[in-house]
Structure 1
């Protein structure tokens, strides 16, 4: 019931209200996980699932001897290899759509010849070998470090035992080879030595900013090509600009607002002003799908409606319907009940122990005259 169409459709509206500050996310997540009056929670579902074999769930049989798996670095095919204990793994091209991975296509990928490392040439500056490779993160070029000669063992005489012992060799710092990913417009099979050397030389110094005196660099990153001036960056249009842009072009790019172009192109469609808010209406692509907004009210486009078919009248109607619903009512916060201080019980007083009376010695009485006379005669 947590993946029904009705639930997911309502969930989108709930998430929109949370994003707009009209609903509380902690309360919604609590109900989703622990359950509420409307539906059971995810906690009750996963508690009764029993043991889960993650590998089995993460495997899809494409053919009798071919299995599709999802690994840490993306999807791959697993098929029998030359060694029965070690299956062969073949990465799936990123451009291949899921519905195109038929049994015949999987067999074609598995039977394709393995592309080995291709030696492009030698770096004329240091004589190191430049090689083109295809790795788990895509094709790249690298500069191989020369193999170090084996270190001969040295022996020293142990003064205590008189035996020869091998002297521990000093640890040698391992030099990490330079690598560089090739551009998406390049072919690994045809990359030449000049192109490989240019890629390995990145980042490229475009010039020095005359105002700050800081170097401007052009390089390729995780999110595409960009310029870097200290901590200030600017995105480039294409990877080719990394080698083509000059100092004047870089300064012109830095003179523009950083997010000016991005903000201007964020709307999928634009209309006239809304008759109620008197603000321009736009259709934008949000985190949970396309929606209509006037900058104040956001209305999700219903499932099944095409953005191209939505005109000004329909956009105004969606915003009006959203306003009619009003903001989501938050449950009243529970007031903390003031706890009355507990009544103090009377403390029973301990009886004071009475000290025993000290008897004073009785005063000696004067001896009788007869006893005194008897004592005198003795």
Structure 2
């Protein structure tokens, strides 16, 4: 695909999961559907149209990814039919057709293991998996929690006794179940050498008792672990769920039925201490409904027609990706944070909010592995390998024998070894692996090239913006990209190298570059345009001079060390060893002489005046940890978010305009978890 990439037993499977979800989003067909919603008295409760003439009214879950209804016996309303029904229901009398009451019971969840801690910290604290493990490591090393890399949900007898004692002290005896709770492990490939993650010691310290000893992120994670541990030994939450069906007849005689449901918690139980976060909004509606009897009339306060559309499957977040890997028995708790970090570091995915968005590069890598190394990224094969490694670690299988079988195969056609798989690398069609169709386009394709993704139609090409997600590259978008001016200008042939020189617009501004032949795997020489130059007027002569930088002025007669003129991030300068001096203009790079440079180096270095602080680019809300306002600012090294105490640079895929409050919280938490920056090493002259 390209140089500098990697594949791995779990890393590649994780990337494949992210890519497959994006493929589902690309293939998804959106469907519009309508229904009616009403507000009724007494109690001003909401109800929604659920049936029309005995047929259930279609909801989003009734349609497949292909846009087709899963059942034929549905009433699929469009806007016209919904608004027509609304008119025919004006003045209709609604009565309670049925009332269903059921007891409600909800049990607490098990204490944390590594994977569930990462998932819950992602949902509730907006921590990345790596941030969670860094903070947990510090809590463990300083004696606040037990070991944080574990598959176990069990607690020691001392821990159970400590939790039950604290429940009684803080909430009362009513909140304590008669017997201690025990938790069974239900995930494949469990390794239970350690107990669940819990507060350390035989007596648990409350968050208030350690508040002055921990920083904000440590305290937030400790409180999460403490609450989860305590709640796991508390009584069930109890209540009552009520479902109502309201009936009416339209002016045309149509039988309509509205539905409403609600749950009333009569005893909170463990919910008094802790409630599990959710990846998506559930259907459970915890709201009280009025006490109504069957046959009782209700007053219609408002009826409205509401339009909806089905949504594609959500992208993975770190929490849901960890859960997906764990459910398949792939990877280990101690590796999930590192795996997700590697996937992002390799450029296979970026964060958009909390969602993991795959890059087109990830599509190419996954395509290559699926077509030519399919067995190595097969989910079941990877899970079986976990079992094999466990048996080898336990001494139940010989490692040499297993490695021999893995490399040479065992003779079965479907069990080819690694040697056979890598033996045909020369037969791989790199162009085919890096080419993808665009839905609905017959003559336009997407290709992933050396310089990034681009769309192609015949001889026409156009680069794909780096912030465009794969599911957003539609036929209309591809056509729009091809219709835009490319921005590339061919300036001519370099007189020394014989290569074509082109002026282009890149991510960091306009630049000139040499165009290498297709079979040349080297890196082309590039140079940014001076501020006084423009893409429209730069000449071949200008480009050749720019590509000649950095320019060696000659050796210093006193010690023979070369003096060099070059353009840097903060402007033009000269350099000799570790000594640097700024130049007044970029044009001086071509005119300054060795004598002038030596005279400049002989002067004391002048400190650059600090620019006045600019106002924030955006305001994003309040950080839940520090309770201070988060803003986006423009910094020396690019945009960053800050709460006034911690600064965190935006990363690949983060854009100032689209940055969300949740993503900003995550960036700040990750930066705080890494601790203060280490001071640079002082260089000493020989």
Report 1 or 2 for greater relative contact order, CA contacts < 8 Å, sequence distance ≥ 6: 2
Scaled by the length of structure 1, the TM-score of the pair is 0.38
Scaled by the length of structure 2, the TM-score of the pair is 0.23
Q: Which structure shows the higher helix fraction?
A: 2
